[in-house]
Amino acid sequence: MSDARITDQEFALFQRLIYKLAGISLNDTKKDLLVGRLGKRLRHFQLPSFASYYRMLATGDHPNEVQVMVDLLTTNETYFFREPNHFEFLRAEVVPRRRNGAPLRVWSAASSSGEEAYSIAMLLADTLGDAPWEIVGSDICTRVLARAVTGHYGLARTEGIPPDYMRKYCLKGVRSQAGTFLIAPELRQRTRFFQLNLMQPVDTVIGDFDVVFLRNVMIYFDPPTKARVVHNLLPRLRPGGHLIIGHSETLNGITDRLITVRPTIYRKP
């Protein structure tokens, strides 16, 4: 089963399925990636072909396996304080203008394993003192969310964290936990994680936000999917709030409901 091959027709079935479920456009160069990641599921179920695995998913009788498939085909590259100028904008422009008395609420809408959400948490803890703040992280992938909730990372992930933040907000592991660190509990207590599919309308249970980070996820979407995702999250962005996207992304031609503040940073009127 380790030598399972995929036909063009079978690959096209999975291209359509992952696009329908997660909005991800898998081009033909991703065929080997799909075989490598899903081949293990064929072995697990002792299935003879990718067509038989697809039929199993399509029956609707295995929702947990559908989630496994989505998790395996989702790219989750992230690291602490990625694209530093966005954090400087948060510090210099957003924090000083927060609404008096109300918690400053930030949504890491494609949070992966939590590094972005906890980077924001460190900055807000440092700049706001005793003032209230809250962070929500979300992702479609349950596997990375499980890691995010723990706030537990290898020391190799510390690159990008300012040394003073490392001292104040990161607890280095000892003995059996040596080589790892844990995000301080006072930050984890203010950071919640949810599984969300941005292809669907966002449940009001997560509340409204002053800032939404939607970085380095739309590069995997075609223009109609980008427009759909932005349309779904905008109701959760407060008037005057900011949407921040990745440096390789743009909202040109995607929405006219936001004002450009600077490249990759937009404001809701």
Name the residues annotated as catalytic.
37, 139
State how far the Cα of 45 lies from the Cα of 47, in Å rounded to an integer.
5
Distances, alpha carbon 51 to alpha carbons 6, 30, 62, 140, 174, in Å: 8, 17, 15, 24, 48
Quick one: 100 exposed, middle or buried, by C-beta within 10 A (0-12, 13-18, 19+)? Answer: exposed
- Which of 89, 132, 137 shows the shortest CA–CA distance to 115? 137
State how far the Cα of 181 lies from the Cα of 149, in Å rounded to an integer.
14
* Residue with the two structure tokens 């590069």: 219
Q: Which are the contacts of 174, defined by CB distance < 8 A and separation ≥ 6?
A: none
**Helix H segments across the chain?**
8-22, 31-45, 50-58, 63-73, 84-89, 115-128, 142-150, 163-169, 185-188, 223-233
Q: Which are the contacts of 155, defined by CB distance < 8 A and separation ≥ 6?
A: 172, 179, 180, 181
